[in-house]
Structure 1
Amino acid sequence: MSSAVAVGLSEPEVAQRVAEGKTNDVPTRAARSVEEIVRANVFTRINAILGVLLIIVLSTGSFINGLFGILIVANSAIGIIQELRAKQTLDRLAIVGQTKPMVRRQSGTGPRSPSEVVLDDVIELGPGDQIVVDGVVIEEAGLEVDESLLTGEADAMDKHAGDEVKSGSFVVAGSGAYRATKVGREAYAAKLAEEASKFTLVKSELRSGIDKILQFITYLLIPAGLLTIYTQLFTTDAGWRESLLRMVGALVPMVPEGLVLMTSIAFAVGVVRLGRRQCLVQELPAIEGLARVDVVCADKTGTLTENGMRLSELKPLIDDDVSNALASLAAADDRPNASMKAIGEAYGEPPGWTATASAPFKSATKWSGTSFGEHGNWVIGAPDVLLDPASPDAEVAERIGAKGLRVLLLGSSNAPVDALDAPGVVTPAALVVLEQRVRPDARETLDYFAAQKVTVKVISGDNAVSVAAVAGSLGLHGETMDARNLPDEPDALADAVVEYTTFGRVRPDQKREMVHALQSRGHTVAMTGDGVNDVLALKDADIGVAMGSGSSASRAVAQIVLLDNRFATLPYVVGEGRRVIGNIERVSNLFLTKTVYSVLLAMLVGLAGLSAKFFGTDPLLFPFQPIHVTIAAWFTIGVPAFVLSLAPNRERAHTGFVRRVMTSALPSGLIVGVATFVSYLLAYGGRDSTPTQQMQASTAALITLLVSALWVLAVVARPYEWWRIALVAVSAAAYVVIFSLPLARKTFLLDPSDAAMTATALAIGVLAAAFIEVVWWVQGRILGERRRLWRSD
């Protein structure tokens, strides 16, 4: 144990280093600047495609057909606004949940933000503290540092004066101080931290699935686009203006202009909604990931129970007064944990004993102690670790622990606490009984997970009987195991972890192994915790959830931080993830269906154009001008997709996103495309048709498309609630209004005046809708998915 106390920097020295740029200027999380956000949302591939098509349309002089150009502005504006809102939320919450190292300066010692640290600053360390910059140890008292997040080395490293410590590691035991030698981008973990903290939407099944869908669409677009360009420009003999308009009318609906936008909006809105509940999402895909979780591993202390403790009872095992020993142990601990704080509050008058040696608490050993020279060597820790399990005192501790109380043994040792064989022979002196308050919302949260078929495992370093008692009081029933009896063989370990519900006396490395064991059985695992002993498991779990009041190390590695320390916030995170996944699946169905029927229609018209070229038949203009596909998208996709992407959604998340979307959208798109083509063929008057007849044919095809596409929306919106029915009804009514108003018909180039043609188009649309309905029910039976028309609780 080092004894020299280093002096921190003076304010002039700090000011000089700031002026020289020797500061810890690592970018904060969500560091994408406003300029980068604007650029990323304006200069997109889809905007570029639509922009080129807009220029082509404007070159023909038909400005009404360029109305789809509003999509460029809308896509960019909505994306920018939502991402800026999410960025502001993330930045605000990141400041609240930020790790604040204890910096020692001549003006005083106190917590400061990492960006305030300068070169040569003295930073104090205690259990659970994250090392924020590289440095050299100058003071230590049993200091142990875990560098596994950097090196992969599982064992904690003893650190002595002169040893190097690196940013990204954390303290597991002891205390000390180090002097900063590398700050900012020169620090070891700075680059990793910068990459990990960006506002990003990558590494999620949802995003990768959408990428696959876009890749599939690209393969469809290339041949369909080339065929359309050739046939409309070189086979129709309709004049260059009409041919260009029809070509653009074919290409615009093929582009899934809103799919990526809606996904980004859904994620960003999720961040804002969770931010209102003081939930910091450090990695955006965590919202989606937690919705897929089927096992939650919860630490007892700080998760199911509140962090604070109070002394409930002291059971002396000897005749001597032990209050002086307890007071001295509490006073000698520079960084007391919750148990030692409670003892310190109960015995606040230390007798002034001088410490000659100390042993900090370690999760692996479950005890701590201090030697006080002539006053003896005193240890305090787990009774089932320091005592013979068969002894009467151990049995008493077990009975007390069975009530859900925390029991510590105070004992005197025959060896100094820093001896190699410590704690040596321990003579029991007293049982210290501590009481933890169960979180008032813990039971409701556990009930929620049970109802959602999410298994909860309680994994704690406390006595197994005590852990089981707390879990039982919350309605969580199942077998309990002492982790010291867990098998080492991987398959046997996995069997045990799956079979048992509560685990006590779990070491930090065992927590990680238990997470791995569950993952090996195909489970998606979330780990919740707040202590340094939870860090390894938090990091390796599919989703790590840390409490805001927990150690800085646990907050640093977790994807989600509950800043209000409420376990009950987790159901809202799960719900938000389900909203994102379920709604994006619906939206993807709409956009992919549109792309499929647009590509199919373009291919059918194109093949008809080729037959005209080589067999002398009538050439076939594409049925729609750009304004037609623009208004078709308004209420069959655009407005409904926006509403559905942000709407409540409580349905469970399932894997197989791409498979489900493709199997749903492909048949629907084929039916809509074929029906629209048939309707157009029946209405098309050939090369000798007048402009009015051509407009009537286009209108008939559009009517068929609208009726069938609206039924796709009606299917995608299921199971119904009142607002979903209203959404479909309002969308249908909007088209009735457009076709009823003379001004709208004139503006949007519509002519439904041929009653027979319009009736035929409507009939084909209704028939297509019937086919879509049948396919939906048949798909459910084939895929084994329950189909429901109405939502039920």
Structure 2
Amino acid sequence: MHGLTAAQVAERVAAGRTNDVPSRASRSIGEIVRANVLTRFNAIVGVLFAVILVIGPIQDGLFGFVIIINTLIGIVQELRAKRTLERLAIVGEARPRVRRDGVVVELAPGEVVLDDVIDLGPGDKIVVDGVVLAAEGLEVDESLLTGESDAVHKQPGDPLLSGSFVTVGGGAQRATKVGREAYAAQLAEEASRFTLVGSELRSGIDTILRVITWLLVPAAVLIIWSQFRTAGAEVDDALRGMVAALVPMVPEGLVLLTSIAFAVGVVRLGARQCLVQELPAIEGLARVDVVCADKTGTLTENGMRLAEVRPDGPDVRAALGALGAADPRPNASLVAVAEGCPDPGWTRTATVPFSSARKWGGATFDGRGEWVLGAADVLLPEDAAERVEAERIGSTGLRVLLLGRRPEADGPVEPAALVVLEQRVRPEAAGTLAYFAEQDVEVKVISGDNALSVGAVAASLDLPRADAPVDARTLTDADLADRLEAGTVFGRVTPAQKREMVAALQARGHTVAMTGDGVNDVLALKDADIGVAMGSGSPATRAVAQIVLLDNSFATLPHVVAEGRRVIGNIERVANLFLTKTVYSVFLAIAIGAIGVPYPFLPRHLTLIGSLTIGIPAFFLALAPNAERARTGFVRRVLRLSIPSGAIAGVVTFTTYLVVRTDTSATEIQQSTAAVVALYAVATWVLVVVARPYVWWKLVMIAAAIGAFCYALFLPIVFGQGFWQLDPGHPPTLLTGLGIAAVGVVAVEIAAWLVNRTRS
């Protein structure tokens, strides 16, 4: 099969018969802009901003400029993440081998055209629909399309669907459907989409925001009615009071900061050659308590070396060399065999490609019979001396294969030699396992190799209970979950069993991450809560995994966990600040509306307080290091602190305002200033509580916020007390506000102590 010529390719490209479907590793630029600008919260606050623009003064509309700035920051951060994701996605994408002008070339999926001839081998993802032209033991897994886990044997003329992948054998296909006509277009888009779904953080925040949205309308009606009911209230004053009351109720920055925190995490991990295909995977891996790791490619390197042949001899070496040359797409074991044993030039008449499910492969040679190479405990009876010896050698951590002859088709195998291969343990594996042990994350090694061999490798890395490996062939459905809980090393695991193990662990309430690199890992990767694929693994594993380690380093996983914990812990911190503001804003709106006194604040006052106690500090806190353990119950924990803190701040502010209003010697501005000082003091103490534990930059941040407030309060210069309309010139009211605020500070500290004492 010569393949298409350059002229034929050019003709098809000109006719638009290409597979050039735009890859969407993220949202488009237009979607990013719309998603960050056209939100219901921006719409609400935008209306309030428009009101202030009409009635003035512009100082009371500063909150609108803050929203504009925050939205721009969100757009810029997501555009940076988009560029990083798309650049990394190009590195990690499947690259089919296509025959052009008689030469096999690797192309991007989008460069395939109609009628192209594509070579297929184990692990290859089928990127376009087509028909089989040639097949040598070709088996295709269509589980991603049909849900059936059994591989389908393919013969010339059989159809191939994009989205499936080759498990065994090789062959060639002709592309019959490309571009949007092929199922691959939909699958690829779905697999690489930049999503924000399945996140406890985001779903919890959305729940909170929905409740707040429903509170806005009645609060607006109540506050307007109360302002008009106040003697001498003007329309402009009533509207200004309404805006001042409603704006702080909307924690618009919380959603924005969550997106920014996720996006920055993606960019940081991208710098470590870690491709995050779905944003919630960062959060999800931080919540994982069980990591199921394949041995080969994860704990050990893919490359192997032929260490020994027992017994050795020219006939044995010749058979090994012939088997190594017989497979056009050899796995790591066959590569090592072929490197150590040259091809004798035997004529091959039939081939049975190696299968991870079968645990063996072989070939028939003209005049030399059928030779097989595979697992001794699969090919030989239990009492065979060679099998016992293979298990003894395997228990030292070496991989042992049996070379045998089969005199009759489907008959018993006659052992010829044991082939000993050395596996190279990844240098970073021990440190990574130690990290997970410190974080109470249990690692379970699940491998298709001999259990004793896997146990020896795991024991060398100090994995707990690795000295008691379990042969998966002894597992039953009844005891699977119990033995999974008890053990940490499992050998001779089939692809279907890997999937069952993930399901069993999930049924016991575990959050499971699965790592792997081979096609035999795909089903388990797909079902796990978080699938982690190696960049050098098969295209099929990379397609279904949420996280791809493009540098093939198991040691990158702790960095992913750390990013997830940073996001979860920091968003919880800033959520306390935003929701405290929401609670005291709702309380003040209801209390002021019920009593019918003028609203104590101008919109600019709350802009000042919100910026110095929430907005600016939240950006620093959201991106700071944070190694706290991830826990469920985000909404419950946030409300346990924000509700009492917000209620205390609201009561302190309301009480201060009512008390200072009885002092007729103070002006209205001086009375409002006392309320501003009281609210700022309590809100700052909430920030002090949330910022714990302290490091130098947090203390500097808090000190800078206090200094900026003192500047606005006491200095009659540019952007000073005149701009913010503050007047601290009446000491009795100012001291009253500080005194009541001191009581509130103590109350916040007690509330925080109680929350920490009962913290789950």
- Whether TM exceeds 0.5 here: the answer is yes
Match of 2:339 among 332, 336, 345: 345
**Does the alignment pair 1:634 with 2:637?**
no
> Could you tell me which residue of structure 1 aligns to residue 146 of structure 2?
151
Which position in structure 1 is the counterpart of 2:373?
A: 380
Q: Deviations over 1:466-485 (max 9, x none)?
A: 00000000001313100110
Q: State the Cα deviation string for residues 683-709 of structure 1 (Å, max 9, x = none).
A: 1259xx79x711111111110100000
Amino acid at match of 1:153: E
Equivalence for 2:272? 277
Whether 1:593 and 2:567 are equivalent positions in the alignment is no
1:531 alignment partner in structure 2 = 518
1:751 aligns with 2:744: no
Matched, 1:112 2:107: yes
Counterparts in 2 of 1:232 and 1:361: CA distance versus 1, 3 Å: same
2:130 maps to 135
Change in CA separation of 1:330 and 1:236 when aligned onto 2, cut-off 3 Å: farther
Please point out which of 264, 267, 276 is paired with 2:262: 267
CA contact (8 A) 1:359 1:369 kept: yes
The answer (yes or no) to whether the contact 2:140–2:168 under 8 Å persists in 1 is yes
C-alpha distance in 1 between matches for 2:97 and 2:256: 43
Q: Which amino acid in structure 1 is aligned with residue 545 of structure 2? A: A
Aligned residue number for residue 195 of structure 2: 200
Amino acid at match of 2:320: L
Distance 1:354 1:236 in 2: 105
Q: Which residue of 2 aligns with 1:327?
A: 321
Q: Which residue does 1:482 correspond to in 2? A: 471
In 2, the alpha carbon distance for the partners of 1:27 and 1:665 equals: 45
1:245, distance to aligned residue in structure 2 (A): 1.6
1:762 paired residue among 738, 743, 756: 738
**Secondary structure at 1:360's aligned position in 2?**
strand
* Counterpart in the other structure of 1:360: 353
Could you say which residue in structure 1 is the equivalent of 2:748? 772
Task: Quote the offset at 1:162 in angstroms.
Answer: 1.0
CA RMSD of aligned residues (A): 1.4
Any idea what the Cα deviations from partners look like across 1:414-458, whole Å, max 9, x if unmatched? 135xxxx3xx22111111100011000100000000000000000
Structure 2 residue 735 is matched with structure 1 residue 732: no
Matches within 5 A, 1:623-702: 623-684=600-661, 693-702=667-676
- After alignment, is 197-206 or 92-101 more displaced? 197-206
Provide the secondary structure at the position in 1 that maps to 2:261. Answer: helix
Q: Superposition pairs for residues 439-588 of structure 1, below 5 Å?
A: 439-478=426-465, 479-489=468-478, 492-588=479-575
User: Is 2:305–2:421's contact at 8 Å kept on the other side of the alignment?
Assistant: yes
For the 8 Å contact 2:191–2:543, the answer to whether it is kept is: no
Which amino acid is the alignment partner of residue 360 of structure 1?
A: P
Does structure 1 conserve the Cα–Cα contact (< 8 Å) formed by 2:3 and 2:117?
yes
1:413 and 1:584 map into 2 onto residues whose CA distance is 63
2:163–2:187 CA contact under 8 A, matched in 1: no
How many corresponding residue pairs?
A: 756
Structure 2 distance, partners of 1:749, 1:726, is: 27
AA partner of residue 329 (structure 2): R
Match of 2:225 in 1: 230
Q: Give the C-alpha shift of residue 204 in structure 1.
A: 1.1
Q: What secondary structure is seen at the aligned counterpart in 1 of 2:383?
A: coil
Q: How far off is 1:313 after superposition?
A: 0.8
What is the Cα deviation at residue 191 of structure 1?
2.2
Counterparts of 2:634 and 2:310, CA distance in 1:
59
**Structure 1 SS opposite 2:183:** coil
Distance across 2 between alignment mates of 1:44 and 1:501: 48
Residues 385-394 or 167-176, more deviating: 385-394
Q: Contact 2:673/2:727 (CA < 8 Å) preserved in 1?
A: yes
Q: 1:107 to 1:749 in 2, by over 3 A?
A: farther
Give the superposition deviation at 1:727.
Answer: 2.3
Provide the C-alpha distance between the structure 1 equivalents of 2:67 and 2:431, rounded to a whole number of angstroms: 46
State the match for 2:680 in structure 1: 706
Amino acid at match of 2:573: R
CA contact (8 A) 1:685 1:693 kept: no
SS in 2 for 1:742: coil
Q: Which secondary structure state, in structure 2, belongs to the residue aligned with residue 523 of structure 1?
A: coil
SS in 1 for 2:348: coil
Q: Over residues 661-689 of structure 1, what are the superposed CA-to-partner deviations in whole Å (9 max), with x where a residue is unaligned?
A: 11111111111011100001111259xx7
CA displacement 1:227-263 (0-9 Å, x = unmatched): 1122224544322222222221111111112011000
2:499–2:523: 8 Å Cα contact kept in structure 1?
Answer: yes
Counterpart amino acid of 1:565? N
Are the equivalent residues in 2 in contact too, given 1:471–1:502 (CA < 8 A)?
yes
Looking at structure 2, the residues matched to 53 and 625 of structure 1 have their Cα atoms a distance apart, in angstroms, of 13
Paired residue for 1:428?
A: 415
| 674, 693, 697: which one aligns with 1:719 | 693
Q: Distance in 1 between matches of 2:636 and 2:63?
A: 31
**Aligned with 2:367: secondary structure?**
helix
Take 1:642 and 1:708, find their aligned partners in 2: how far apart are those partners?
20
Which residue in 2 is equivalent to 1:438? 425
Query: 1:31 Cα deviation (Å)?
Result: 4.2
> 5+ residue gaps in structure 2?
none
Which residue, 243, 252, 262 being the options, matches 2:247?
252
What CA distance in whole angstroms lies between the structure 1 residues aligned with 2:204 and 2:83?
Answer: 28
**Residue matched to 1:615:** none
Aligned pair 1:301/2:296, yes or no?
A: yes
Equivalent residue number for residue 72 of structure 1: 67
Distance in 2 (CA, whole Å) between partners of 1:643 and 1:303 is 36
Question: What SS does the corresponding residue of 2:295 show, helix, strand or coil?
Answer: coil
Deviation at 1:410, TM superposition (A): 0.5
Instruction: Provide the C-alpha distance between the structure 2 equivalents of 1:320 and 1:636, rounded to a whole number of angstroms.
Output: 80
- Alpha carbons of 1:755 and 1:367: their partners in 2 closer, same or farther (altered >3 Å)? same
Could you tell which deviates more after superposition, 302-311 or 29-38? 29-38
User: Would the alpha carbon gap of residues 408 and 232 (structure 1) be closer, same or farther in structure 2, given more than 3 Å must change?
Assistant: same
**SS at 2:404 equivalent:** strand
Amino acid at match of 2:455: A
Going from structure 1 to structure 2, the CA distance change for 1:442 and 1:397 (only over 3 Å counts) comes to same
Q: Which consecutive residues of structure 1, in runs of 5 or more, have no partner in the other structure?
A: 1-5, 610-619, 786-793
Farther off after superposition, 45-54 or 700-709: 45-54
3-state SS, counterpart of residue 321 of structure 1: helix
Which secondary structure does the structure 2 equivalent of 1:322 belong to? Answer: helix
Q: d(CA) in 1 for partners of 2:318 and 2:614?
A: 75
Helix, strand or coil at the partner of 2:559:
helix
Amino acid at match of 1:673: G
Deviation at 1:320, TM superposition (A): 6.3
The residue aligned with 1:396 is: 389
User: Which of 223-232 and 174-183 deviates more?
Assistant: 223-232
In structure 2, which of residues 55, 60, 79 is the aligned counterpart of residue 60 of structure 1? 55
Distance 1:108 1:7 in 2: 8
Partners of 1:394 and 1:330 in 2: CA distance = 22
Determine the C-alpha separation between the residues in 2 that align with 1:136 and 1:144: 14
Could you report, residue by residue, the CA deviation over 1:519-545 in whole angstroms, capped at 9, with x for unpaired residues?
Answer: 010000000000011111000000000
- Asked if structure 2 preserves the Cα contact closer than 8 Å seen for 1:685 and 1:694, the reply is no
Alpha carbons 1:11, 1:107 under 8 Å: kept: no
Amino acid corresponding to residue 216 of structure 1 in structure 2: V
Moved more, 75-84 or 564-573: 75-84
In the aligned structure 2, how far is the partner of 1:605 from the partner of 1:203? 40
User: Which 4+ stretches in 1 moved above 4 angstroms?
Assistant: none
Query: What TM-score, normalized to structure 1?
Result: 0.94
Q: Is the 8 A contact 2:714 2:728 kept in 1?
A: no
- Give yes or no for contact 2:188–2:543 (8 Å, CA) kept in 1: no
Matched residue type, 1:366: K
